[in-house]
Structure formats: structure tokens, C-alpha cells
Homo-oligomer: A and B are copies of this chain.
Amino acid sequence: MTDLTLSDDELGLFTDLYELTMLQAYWAEGMHGSAVFSLFFRNPPAYRNFVLACGQEHAARLATRVHFPRRQLDRLETIGLFREPFLRWLEGFRFSGEILAMPEGTPVFPHEPILEVHAPVAEAQVLETVLMNLITTETVLASKAARITLAADGRPVMDFGMRRMHGTDAALRGVRAYSVGGIRATSNVLGSLRYGLPPSGTMAHSFIQAHHDELEAFRTYGQLYPGTTLLVDTYDTLAAVRKVIRLVREEGLQIGAIRLDSGDLGALARHARDLLDAAGLEHIQIVASGGLDEWTIRDLLVGGAPIDRFGVGTEMGTSVDAPSLDLAYKLTEYDGEPRLKNAPGKQLHPGPKQVWRFSDGNGRYSHDEITCRGEHRDGTPLLTPIIRDGAPLAEPPGITSGRDRAWAAIARFPELMRELEPAPTPYPVQFSEALQRLRRDTIAKLGY
């Protein structure tokens, strides 16, 4: 066992300390009333016209497995804050509540609950940290991937990011998120095997360097992997392209593509394309990589660069322009009464909710409305129960269903939502009259 492992048994301790001290306080007070917690974000991340909710169905299922085996409680006891009777209670802990969530791949906007938990307050409280950590990761990565997919305008994008991502878990679950975000292949072997996104890879500069001769390295690789991609920028890119042409024309090597990884990718792609076409090798594709993001990809394509596929690493792997999401998990009801907090700039709407998405006559999405749970509308409700009585209601949906849902939805939004630049006005999201009234009444009752 290495410390890269988070075992099932440790899932309960993957939490903020205050969740457990609050649990002990609820337990000590006999507060077992039912609570509603809502998971949402307040501010759209930089430039994003939408966020692609991802990981919530998976996270909800993992949450039902949170438990506290005795040997983990013995570790917890060393902290010195917890009493033995509470630890015994914790040993019997099982999540028994209900979780509603938006389906994976749903485009989501500020204040819309992505997930709601209904459970005895302790059970709902203790899931906070693990749900937020898991959903943040996949949602941030899927949202960035969707932008890159949009920029590539139909050309396949491959994930090359695992080496620069934040740890092993992000690198692996990132593959799930990328798949939902429209990425078509991954260099990540284990991620590919776990989540079914096709594996993809070319060669590293080191392989060329280790050989006495670039041509010899190309020949070896091409013979071993017919249809492979050869990396041509180790020394002199266009000289390397000529070597590829020689190997294909004179030795019949089967090469699928060349990869450009540095320099002026647009100019090099054009030169390389000319050389390949002049040699009758129109079928050899051009792959570009090297610090790419949605903006550079768009600029290359606007500039007419004849690039067929993109490999994207660091920028997507850490979502460089917006690595975080201000996801919150807030109590909105306790013991049947609506609750809120009223800290400046962090307003909250009380009670369980539903999110409705409305279409115009042409099937295009027009606006969303956040309502109290009990209200009914003619639109599509986005939150559906996926966990009941602590158990999943169905098998987890496949990743392809998340991707299909995401891209069907993205196609139905107003054109400007698919642009890289922020739309002049955000997508309209309304709070229902009843929800606004409930908020006013709750504030009045609290006396603030």
C-alpha cells in the first residue's frame, strides 16, 4: 500500500475535521432532524458561459459507501476530540437519505443546485467535503474540456495532461470528465482502461534522442506500430518531415500522422502539409501539441492551419485560467423549516429546490427557473432522485450517456453560449416568485 491509495475504509476520514466535530455536537444534542443541503456555485468561472456538471452521480454513489470501521475510528481517537460513545455511534453510521442530482453532462449556471441531499442532519453534513472535492474536480475539468472541444470545431482532441495534473486521482477521474467534455482519446493508460476513453499516444523526444539517427528512430517506430504518429520537432521540423516522406515513399512505412510540438505551429503545419501533399501523402495527418488551450487552437484554425488533431495537456489538465470553482454545500432546510445564512455577498435561497429548463418553439433553450421543490412547470426538471434510502436507484449511467447529453444540450443553447468569449448577457436564470417569497419570509422570521 502506498499513500496514493484512498481505500474504501478511509473514505469516512477523507473529510474536514469540523464535519466530525459538528457530527459529535449534533449527536450530543440529539439533533437527528432531517436536513436538506444544496450543492451549487455562486459565480461563473472566468470566461465560462456555462459549467458542465460532472461527477455528481458518481460522487453520490461513493457517498453512500462512507462508513467508519473500528480501525479508522482508533486513528480518529488519537486526535483527542472525540468521545468513545460517539465513536461507537459513528461505527454504526450508514447514509440512509435521498440524493437528487442533475444528470452528468448537464450545463449548469450560478445558483442552480447540481445536487441536493435529504437526510438526518449528521448524515447529510458529513458528506460535504467528499462530495465537494469529487464534484469540483470533474466539473472543473469537464468544463475546460468542453471549451477546448468547441474551439477544435469538430477536430478530435486528445488528453495529454496526466503528467502535469494535480495528483493521481485528478489525472484518472479527469479522463471521465474529459470524455463528458468531448475529448476523444487520452494518453493515460490506466484512465483509458478504467473509463473506456480510447488510448492514444505518439512518442517522446527522448526516443528520438536515444537513437543515433532520427530516421532510424522513425523507422523502428513505424515498423513496430503501423499507422503511428511520428514526432518531428526534436531537431529540425521540416527536415524531419522529409525523412518521414522518404520512409513512406521508399520503404513503404505506414505512418498515420506527424506531430508538431513546438515552434510556430501554424506555419510549420502549412509547410509540412505542402511537403506531404507534394509527395502524394495527403492521407498523413498533422497533430499539433505543446502548450495549447482553447484560444491558441481557435487562432490556429482561424489562421487556416491544416491541423487535423490536437493534443492538449497542461492547460486542460489544471484548467489554468479557472482551476477552481466556488462550489458550496449549504443547509437550506432543517426539521421541515427553511434555513438560510445571510453573510454579505453569500446570499442563499432556502428550502429544497428544482431547476427547470425551458425551450422556445424551435427546441432551443430559452431560460432556466429555480423553483421550490413542490412547484410545477412546463419545462424539463433537471434534478432527479438517484439515491433513496441510502441506496442507488439504478446502475451508474455510462460515460457516453454523459457526453451525449452534454453535447445535445450545448447544441440547443443560444449561439453565443458556445463562444469562448463571455456572452454579453449571461444565460437567463430566474428564481420563482414562491422561492423569493420564501426567502423574504425566512429572513423576516430570523429577524435579520
Contacts and interface: CB of A to CB of B under 8 A. Distances in A.
Contact of A4 (B1, B11, B224, B262): B11
Given A1-B8, A133-B163, A323-B319, A235 B342 contact: yes
A2 to B, nearest CB: 6
A362 interface: no
A295 interface: no
B314 A318 contact: no
B129 A17 contact: no
A20 B166 contact: no
A24 interface: yes
Given A4-B11, A314-B326, A18 B133 contact: no
Nearest to A8: B2
A353 interface: no
A203 interface: yes
A166 B161 CA distance: 14
Assembly stoichiometry (copies):
2
A324 interface: yes
Interface residues of A, number: 116
Nearest to A339: B209
A88 interface: no
Contact of A164 (B3, B29, B136, B171): B136
A339 B210 contact: yes
A164 B317 contact: no
A88 B228 CA distance: 23
17 contacts: A4-B169, A5-B5, A14-B168, A17-B187, A17-B189, A21-B221, A22-B206, A22-B207, A37-B206, A134-B168, A209-B339, A209-B340, A236-B448, A262-B345, A262-B346, A314-B324, A323-B323
A-B pairs, top 4 by smallest CB distance, nearest first, are: A17-B201, A167-B169, A18-B201, A166-B166
